[in-house]
Each structure stands twice: as C-alpha cells, then as structure tokens.
C-alpha cells in the first residue's frame, strides 16, 4: 500500500539528514522532492502545489530552522497536512433509519458487488445487523450470479428478480421485502459502465430518488488514480453522495485517489478494501493512513484486527495447556489460523513501524504459513499433542511425508519451542526474560 510514495517521501527527508545545518534552501529542496513524490503518485498538480506551500508556510512559522530536531518537526508537519488532506478524521455510516438503505454507485470493475458483500458481513459482525443485499445490476453478464455467490459466502439474505429488467422496480421491491422480513440494512448493488454515460447517470439518479437512501457510497478502484477522482466528481454532481469507498488498496497503487479525492469532491473516504477475502475491509482513518505513508506503521489498526480475531474461549483453553506444559502443535496451528484471518501478510507487516522499509521490494507470500501447516499435518496425533516425543527418526518421517527438508522440519520445531517458552513466560509475568528471548530470536 503506497510503497512507491513512501519510499520517495523518505528519500525527500534524507536531504535534510545529509546536511549539517538546516537552511531555508534545503527545506525548499526537500519540499520540492515531496511535491515530485506526490505528482508521481498521481496526485492532482494543484493539490500537490498547495500542499507543499502549506507545509513550507507552517515549517517556517514553527521555526523548523532553529529547532533541535528540524527533520522530525518537518515530518510531523507533513504528517498533519497529509491527515488534513485525506479528511482529518474517520466518518461513520448513517444507520439511524429502519431499514437503513445503502446505495452503491461507481463504474464497472470498481468492485461494487464484492464490496457490497464485504459491507454486509462487516455490519453483520460488528453491529449485529441483519442485512439484505439487492441485485440491481441487470446488464452485466453474471452480475446477479456473483452477488448470489457473495451472499451465500457470507450468509446474508438476498433479493433477486431475474425476470424484471427495470432496476428501479427491483430496488423498490427489495426495500419492501426488507420491511416485511425485518432486515435493518438494505445494500443495493447497482450497475456500472465502462465509462460515464447519460443512461448510467439517469438510471442511478432514478434509483436514488425511488429509495431515498440513508447512505450513497461511491466505490472506486484506487489503482486508477486521477481518473478515479474525475469520475467521483461527475457522480457527486449528480448524486451528491455521502462518502467514498477505495477498493484494491492491496494492489500496486500509487495513492493519488486517496490523497486527492477529498479535496476535489469534499466528501469523506469512509471505507477501504484491503484484500480479496470478504473480511478485508477497514474503516478509513486519515491519521493512521498518513502514518503508514510516512513509514510509521499503524499499530492501532493491527491491535484492532487482532482483537477482532481473538477467541476468548480458545485463549482460555490454550492458557490452561500452557500452565500444564501441554501446549502442542495443533494449538500452534490454531494460533497461525487466527493470524491468517487478520489479512494479507504484506498489509499486516506494513502496520508494524519500520517493517515496511525492511521488507521493501520483497515478495510477501500470503501462503507463507502453508509449509508449516503441511509439516504439522504430516505428524501423528500423538506427536502433535506430545511435542517431546520428537526424535530424529520421527523428523525424517515427517520430512518425507510433507515433502519438506529435514532443515525445514527442524526450523519449525525450533520456532514452536521458542513460541512455547515465550507464552509460558508471558503467563508467568517474566517480561524481562521474554524480551531477552525475543531479542535472541531476532
């Protein structure tokens, strides 16, 4: 997420570090590079220029040149301005009505249908809502089939009428069904086009008027940069939508849409899509995103994701096993499964301060744990529950059965033993010893 922009901004700040003394000239040089980085990220030229002018004005006003840590102060000013540029604070959905109607709009290929499912699952899990998905895309081949698959995948109610070709009638009928079945949220998936046209705009405007939505969201593929921003402006002129959804932020995106869209349409980014899984949806926090762009990580979001996947009952069982020295490979595997549910590995690593720089240019495979799972699956039930049974002949058999080398099996056993010791120390409150052990692992 924003790897290229992050590395270019980091390079810009290196200019200050390379000088013994901070001057107005090298601050200007740094900001010139910041502006270039923003333009390379496909940020609108006017926005990039105004952004750097504001940073310069604040930097000189706060006496960066005479500060004890001028570089850090300038980074903080840039961070604050990035946060402001992206909307200052998170924006919530309006779910006050019963049922609350959420109308999805956007071009074809932006990810509306998938995001409709993600949003339904999010509202179901986070707010205990009973959503109804309504299929109003009567043009795209297999659009209804796709929404049916999504609804089935997340266990959501769905309204479909394959005979009706008028999306306005379908939307109204869906709303009636929601009232009858006591669904408290209705998510209407509308048709997109490959480009903006009069038919598309008139149709979405008519659906909007017919259902009077509590929320109208504009879904945009973040990889399209300035094109996305221009499209958003056209849709907003017609619909006056309530917020933006940026999809595909896990791709090789430059970041221009995220940084420009708020300034152009004056509407908040409400959600981001961060992966292919149905759980890969996050509220958009401008301050956290600014931290990530500047390589500072996002520990708060990382902790929140961990808490979402935290199974209290499972944790109690594992704690008892640790206390009795009965923590086994199946328990180790269950911990890995919880980590995998938190999202794609590259995204998670990007949330750890400084880790993004260390893994820059590296391919972070989402199947990184697959080898571990295969090795554990090749163990007998007795070996999994009694790790101390492990000897050379058992290791050789496991290596052969899993198609892995003896070195890989040994590495897994070592990791398991280190994790077991750390968990035991955490339980005993021996934090100093645990910190020592973590340093040894590194």
pLDDT greater than 70 at residue 195: yes
Instruction: Write the CB contacts of 37 (distance below 8 Å, at least 6 apart in sequence).
Output: 5, 8, 9, 11, 12
Q: Helix, strand, or coil here: 250? A: coil
Query: Which pLDDT score, from 0 to 100, does residue 356 have?
Result: 55
Mean pLDDT of 36-57: 89
Cα 311 to its chain centre, rounded Å, is: 21
Q: Helix, strand, or coil here: 324? A: coil
* 100-296 carries CATH number 3.40.50.300: yes
Query: Which pLDDT score, from 0 to 100, does residue 293 have?
Result: 82
- Measured CA to CA, the distance from residue 232 to residue 209 in angstroms comes to 19
Mean pLDDT of 9-27: 75
Query: Which pLDDT score, from 0 to 100, does residue 349 have?
Result: 60
- Phi, psi (degrees; rounded to nearest 5) at 201: -65, -40
- Measured CA to CA, the distance from residue 68 to residue 326 in angstroms comes to 54
Query: Which pLDDT score, from 0 to 100, does residue 435 have?
Result: 40
Q: In the chain, where are the structural domains located?
A: 3-85, 100-296, 303-441
Just give the CATH number of 303-441: 1.10.260.30
pLDDT greater than 60 at residue 20: no
pLDDT greater than 50 at residue 438: no
Query: Which pLDDT score, from 0 to 100, does residue 72 have?
Result: 76
Domain 3-85 classification at class level:
mainly alpha
Whether this model's pTM surpasses 0.75: no
Query: Which pLDDT score, from 0 to 100, does residue 42 have?
Result: 83
**Confidence band of 134 (pLDDT split at 50, 70, 90):** very high
Q: At what angle do helices 406-428 and 312-323 cross, to 10 degrees?
A: 90
Block residue for tokens 């791709």: 251
Query: Which pLDDT score, from 0 to 100, does residue 264 have?
Result: 87
Query: Which pLDDT score, from 0 to 100, does residue 431 have?
Result: 40
pLDDT greater than 70 at residue 19: no
pLDDT greater than 70 at residue 346: no
pLDDT tens-digit map of 57-66: 888 777 766 6
H/E stretch holding 374 reads helix 370-377
Helix spans in 240-298 (H): 256-265, 286-293
Helix spans in 18-142 (H): 24-40, 45-61, 70-85, 112-127
Mean pLDDT of 208-236: 87
- Measured CA to CA, the distance from residue 2 to residue 368 in angstroms comes to 22
405 versus 435: the higher-pLDDT residue is: 405
Which percentage of the chain shows pLDDT scores above 90?
35
Strand 281-283 and strand 269-273: pairing? antiparallel
Query: Which pLDDT score, from 0 to 100, does residue 360 have?
Result: 54
Q: Where is average pLDDT lowest: 100-104, 324-328, 357-361, 391-395?
A: 357-361
Token duo for residue 366: 């989402």
Is there a contact between 216 and 242 (Cβ–Cβ < 8 Å)?
yes
Q: Where is average pLDDT lowest: 110-124, 132-146, 166-180, 225-239?
A: 225-239
- Measured CA to CA, the distance from residue 92 to residue 406 in angstroms comes to 52
Is there a contact between 226 and 260 (Cβ–Cβ < 8 Å)?
yes
Determine whether 401 is exposed, middle or buried from the number of CB atoms within 10 Å of its CB (0-12, 13-18, 19+).
Answer: middle
């Amino acid at each position: 997420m924003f790897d290229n922009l992050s590395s270019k901004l980091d390079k810009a700040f290196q200019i200050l570090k390379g000088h013994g003394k901070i001057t107005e000239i090298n601050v200007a040089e740094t900001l010139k590079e910041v502006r270039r980085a923003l333009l390379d990220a496909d940020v609108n030229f006017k926005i990039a220029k105004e952004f750097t002018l504001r940073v310069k004005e604040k930097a000189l006003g706060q006496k960066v040149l005479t500060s004890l840590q001028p570089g850090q102060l300038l980074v903080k000013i840039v961070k604050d301005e990035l946060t402001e540029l992206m909307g200052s604070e998170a924006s919530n959905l309006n779910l006050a009505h019963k049922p609350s109607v959420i109308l999805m709009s956007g071009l074809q290929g932006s990810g509306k249908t998938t995001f409709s499912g993600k949003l339904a699952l999010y509202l179901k899990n986070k707010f205990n809502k009973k959503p109804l998905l309504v299929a109003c895309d009567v043009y795209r081949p297999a659009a209804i089939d796709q929404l049916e698959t999504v609804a089935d995948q997340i266990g959501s109610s769905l309204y479909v009428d394959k005979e009706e070709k008028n999306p306005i009638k379908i939307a109204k009928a869906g709303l009636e069904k929601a009232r009858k079945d006591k669904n408290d949220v209705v998510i209407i998936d509308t048709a997109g086009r490959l480009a903006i046209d009069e038919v598309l705009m008139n149709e979405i405007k008519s659906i909007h008027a017919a259902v009077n939505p509590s929320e109208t969201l504009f879904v945009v593929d973040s990889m399209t940069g300035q094109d996305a921003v221009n499209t958003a402006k056209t849709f907003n002129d017609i619909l006056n939508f309530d917020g933006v959804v940026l999809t595909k932020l896990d791709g090789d995106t430059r970041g221009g849409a995220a940084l420009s869209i708020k300034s152009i349409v004056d509407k908040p980014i409400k959600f981001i899509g961060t992966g292919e899984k149905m759980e890969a949806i996050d509220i958009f926090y401008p301050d956290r995103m600014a931290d990530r762009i500047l390589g500072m990580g996002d520990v708060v979001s990382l902790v929140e994701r961990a808490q979402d996947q935290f199974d209290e009952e499972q944790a109690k069982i594992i704690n008892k096993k640790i206390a009795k020295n009965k923590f086994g490979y199946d328990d180790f595997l269950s911990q890995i499964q919880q980590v995998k549910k938190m999202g794609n590995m590259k995204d998670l690593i990007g949330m750890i301060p400084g880790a993004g720089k260390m893994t820059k240019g590296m391919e972070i495979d989402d199947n990184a744990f697959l080898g571990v799972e295969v090795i554990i699956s090749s163990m007998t039930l007795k070996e999994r529950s009694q790790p101390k049974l492990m000897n050379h002949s058992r290791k050789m058999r496991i290596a052969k059965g899993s198609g892995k080398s003896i070195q890989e099996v040994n590495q897994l056993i070592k990791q398991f033993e280190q994790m077991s010791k750390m968990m035991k120390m955490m339980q005993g409150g021996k934090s100093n010893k645990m910190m020592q052990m973590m340093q040894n692992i590194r």
